[in-house]
Amino acid sequence: MSVSVRIVADAAAVGDAAAELVIAGLGVRDAPVLGVATGSSPLPVYAALERRGPAGRLGLGRAPAPAPGEYVGRPADHPESYRSVVDREVTTRLGLDPSRVAVPDGTAEDLGAACRRYEAALRAAGGVDVQILGIGSNGHIGFNEPGTPADSRTRVAELMPSTRNDNARYFPSLADVPERCITQGIGTILEARSIVLVASGEAKADAVARAVSGTPDPTCPASALQAHPRVTFVLDTAAASLLDPARHGDHALH
Ligand code: F6R
């Protein structure tokens, strides 16, 4: 299997390059399913898709858009819930129908059942055509923290202290950052037909290097993406700074 790497100048260029890949990947079906991510990394991708107007929306309004997770125990209308972030940053920009955005229910009494319902919704939609991903500074994808098996499914997961620290910027204080979330498993993510992972900034360089170099290793969950046939890492030069330029230029890695 191969991981493709594209290296561009900065975060805005990451957005443009990733938007092109998203559009190409969504062109395969009539009502394509776009898996959206939260966090700061994908924001330039949504902005670039919005700038492309109808071409960037590609009939998405007709199809469900799954978010990869949800914090546990926060109401859906909390400003930092996945539901709110997706509504704010993605739904209106891309012309999605908010009622069709599939987010796991982090307030459900039976969280296991909420995870199973979410997986069933993905299957009912015919799977995800393009999954946009960010990467944590510790290599997490979704909220699959280091140590997560590559065949994991949607479930309740604990956020590591470093991830809670990284996300504290979105909350009034560290104490407000949730400790648990529902996340798509790595196995769930790997079922997407294509995956576009975006990263910018030096803080991601180590995780990116571990994800694309060497053999897949659960201590860097994103390295499991090496097993996927159609995954592209779109990186700015800072996020790519620890890759070997001779091996990891703007071409597919084998
Ligand atoms: C999944 C998710 C995380 C982020 C990751 C990077 O929806 O939110 O996996 O992609 O924590 O976050 P940023 O992009 O804010 O650095």
Q: From the alpha carbon of 204, which atom of ligand 1 is closest?
A: 16
pLDDT band of residue 96 (cuts 50, 70, 90) is confident
- As a whole number of angstroms, the distance between CA 154 and CA 188 comes to 7
State whether the beta carbon of 136 lies less than 6 angstroms from ligand 1. yes
- As a whole number of angstroms, the distance between CA 74 and CA 204 comes to 28
Q: How far is the CA of 36 from the centre of ligand 1 (A)?
A: 11
Q: How far is the CA of 227 from the centre of ligand 1 (A)?
A: 21
- As a whole number of angstroms, the distance between CA 215 and CA 36 comes to 27
State whether the beta carbon of 200 lies less than 6 angstroms from ligand 1. no
Q: Given this model, what pLDDT does residue 218 score?
A: 96
State whether the beta carbon of 210 lies less than 6 angstroms from ligand 1. no
- Of 141, 130, 147, nearest to 211 by C-alpha is 141
pLDDT band of residue 64 (cuts 50, 70, 90) is low
The 10s digit of each residue's pLDDT in 138-175 is: 999 999 999 999 999 999 999 999 999 999 999 999 99
Q: From the alpha carbon of 203, which atom of ligand 1 is closest?
A: 16
Return the minimum-mean-pLDDT range out of 11-15, 93-97, 153-157, 159-163. Answer: 93-97
Q: How far is the CA of 25 from the centre of ligand 1 (A)?
A: 21
State whether the beta carbon of 37 lies less than 6 angstroms from ligand 1. yes
Q: How far is the CA of 38 from the centre of ligand 1 (A)?
A: 6
Helix (H, G, I), strand (E, B) or coil at 37: coil
State whether the beta carbon of 39 lies less than 6 angstroms from ligand 1. yes
Q: How far is the CA of 133 from the centre of ligand 1 (A)?
A: 7
Average pLDDT, the chain: 90
Q: How far is the CA of 142 from the centre of ligand 1 (A)?
A: 7
Q: Given this model, what pLDDT does residue 61 score?
A: 57
Strands 130-133 and 231-236: unpaired
pLDDT band of residue 100 (cuts 50, 70, 90) is confident
Q: Given this model, what pLDDT does residue 254 score?
A: 32
Q: Which domains does the chain have, with CATH numbers?
A: 4-251 (3.40.50.1360)
Q: Given this model, what pLDDT does residue 32 score?
A: 84
Burial 73-103 (b: 16+ CB within 10 A, else e): ebeeebebbbbbbbbebbbebbbbeeebbbb
Q: Given this model, what pLDDT does residue 251 score?
A: 46
Q: How far is the CA of 41 from the centre of ligand 1 (A)?
A: 7
State whether the beta carbon of 165 lies less than 6 angstroms from ligand 1. no
Q: Whose CA is nearest to atom 5 of ligand 1?
A: 136
pLDDT band of residue 250 (cuts 50, 70, 90) is low
User: With 60 as the cut, is the pLDDT of residue 237 above it?
Assistant: yes
Instruction: State the helix-helix crossing angle for 43-51 and 11-26, rounded to 10 degrees.
Output: 60
Q: From the alpha carbon of 201, which atom of ligand 1 is closest?
A: 16
Q: From the alpha carbon of 37, which atom of ligand 1 is closest?
A: 7
State whether the beta carbon of 140 lies less than 6 angstroms from ligand 1. yes
Q: Given this model, what pLDDT does residue 13 score?
A: 98
